[in-house]
Amino acid sequence: MRDVALKFQLNGKPVEIECEAEETLAEVLRNQLNLNGTKISCEVQVCGACTVLVNDLPVSACTYLAYEAQGKSVTTIEGLEKPDGTLHPIQQAFIDDFAFQCGFCTPGMIMSAKALLDENPTPSREEIIHHMDGNICRCTGYVPIVAAIERAAQTMSGGKK
């Protein structure tokens, strides 16, 4: 039995669904809305694989209850691509810098990087490393991830550093 009526903006479009009070945002995104880019891994807010933006701030969707999104704006990895198929500069930078291997952590990494670059368009390498501290990758060794975020920052700021 679904007991919570939920209305929010998802990737720029209004959504109305019903969910159970204990369902997480990650569960609703994946199981009801078929947005599987948000990964579920640790389920305790440690790895960052489930990172989405709620009102432009990064949250761990694995512990964020879906009803908390009521009236808010939620952005997932699927919401970054433009309607014409053009990737967001951060997505493109991850491809260009080979900043992924298995790809499981990549959506969460990109969403965390987006939150950083929205707040600080020209972060230092140290600021990138500090901000990305909550996102774990078991494959890449982080060097290409940091390079991709630096590339995206440069692209998004028009080459200014």
Structural domains in the chain, CATH included, are 4-79 (3.10.20.30), 89-156 (1.10.150.120)
Q: What CA–CA distance (Å, rounded) separates 3 from 37?
A: 26
This prediction's pTM: 0.94
Closest alpha carbon to 53 in 97, 90, 84: 90
Q: What's the mean pLDDT in 104-133?
A: 97
The pLDDT tens digits of the residues spanning 11-66 come to: 999 999 999 999 999 999 999 999 999 999 998 888 999 999 999 999 999 999 99
Phi, psi (degrees; rounded to nearest 5) at 143: -55, -50
Please report, rounded to a whole number, the percentage of residues in the chain having pLDDT higher than 90: 87
pLDDT for the residue numbered 160: 65
Other CB atoms within a 10 A radius of the CB of residue 84 amount to: 5
Half-sphere CA count of 98, side-chain side, radius 13 A: 4
For the chain, what is the mean pLDDT? 95
